Amino acid sequence: MCRWIAYSGTPVLLSQVLFEPEHSLIDQSLHSRMGVETTNGDGFGIGWYPRDMAEPAVLRDVGPAWNDRNLQEVAHHTRSGLFFGHIRASTGTAVQQSNCHPFRSGRWLWMHNGVISDFRRLRRDLALAVDPALYARIEGSTDSEVMFFLALTFGLTDDPPGAVARMAGLVETTAEAHGVPHPLQMTVAVTDGESVWAFRYSSEGRSRSLFVSTRVDALRALHPDVSFLRGLSDETRLVVSEPLGDLPGAWNEVPESSYGVVRPGGGELRPFRPEYAEGPRG
């Protein structure tokens, strides 16, 4: 219901990734190919880490990304080695800045494509499971923001994969208690400014698409004539809802029920499954 992109690697102008590629994220805001909705015009957001800052900046607005001048200005004048971009297609919740991704807490960013089924019925129980000390910071009305606060509650800053697994488990047990089948459908990206974790999961096992780019050294060997690749470090990576451009060999689908980590010095790909509380929670 949304599309997103995460970039990690050699610092570049945001526009080189967000605007310039064929079938870029901004192009997907008008013409998505793989999404449930072909138009993602209900707001957008970018989050980026300036060179010497631990806390990221976030720019979000409620209009379509394709015609937003401030987005263009910032993207064409800002360099970063780690940034997120997100375009939104609302599934019913209000079109407001506080419902736009990425969400931020300290140096952490979070963005999501997907949906919690029948969220209106589950919203209260999920919100109650958020750490009371965090509850007051919820500003919007989306499932995505509640998922973020649940992950923070369950230890996101110490153990991202574990916290996301516990969040997913809670969503599923809560849904079961309410008789909501197949409640979770998600691709999530989260970062602390150094590593990026990207999750692909759905209760039904039919998750939204997610792709990770091939290592740049391998791509360069395949395409010695593509000048853009020459300026990038071997470890530069993109994780995206749907592929950009049409470079053969550039994109690898992230398997169902798995997550990847992208970080300097090497990433990894692992299976993902929700984690269910055995005790009183759930």
Secondary structure letter of residue 233 according to DSSP: -
Q: Which of 175, 197, 211, 203 is nearest to 274 (CA)?
A: 203
Buried b (16+ CB within 10 A) or exposed e, 37-47: eeebbbbbbbb
35-94 positions binding a copy of itself, by CB under 8 A = 39, 41-42, 48, 50, 53, 55-64, 66-67, 69-70, 73-74, 76-79, 90, 93-94
Cβ-based neighbours of 256, under 8 Å, separated by 6 or more? 200, 201, 202, 205, 206, 207
In the complex, minimum distance from the CB of residue 124 to a copy of itself, in angstroms, rounded to a whole number: 4
225 in helix, strand or coil? coil
In the complex, minimum distance from the CB of residue 226 to a copy of itself, in angstroms, rounded to a whole number: 24
The residue within the footprint of a copy of itself, chosen from 16, 91, 96, 157 (CB under 8 A), is 96
Total residue length of the chain: 282
Give the count of residues interacting with a copy of itself (CB under 8 A): 48
In the complex with a copy of itself, the residue whose CB is nearer, 63 or 155, is 63
In the complex with a copy of itself, the residue whose CB is nearer, 39 or 252, is 39
In the complex with a copy of itself, the residue whose CB is nearer, 62 or 167, is 62
* Rounded Cα distance, 25 and 278, in Å: 41
- Which spans of this chain sit near a copy of itself (rule: CB under 8 A)? 30, 39, 41-42, 48, 50, 53, 55-64, 66-67, 69-70, 73-74, 76-79, 90, 93-98, 119-121, 123-124, 127-128, 132, 135-136, 138-141
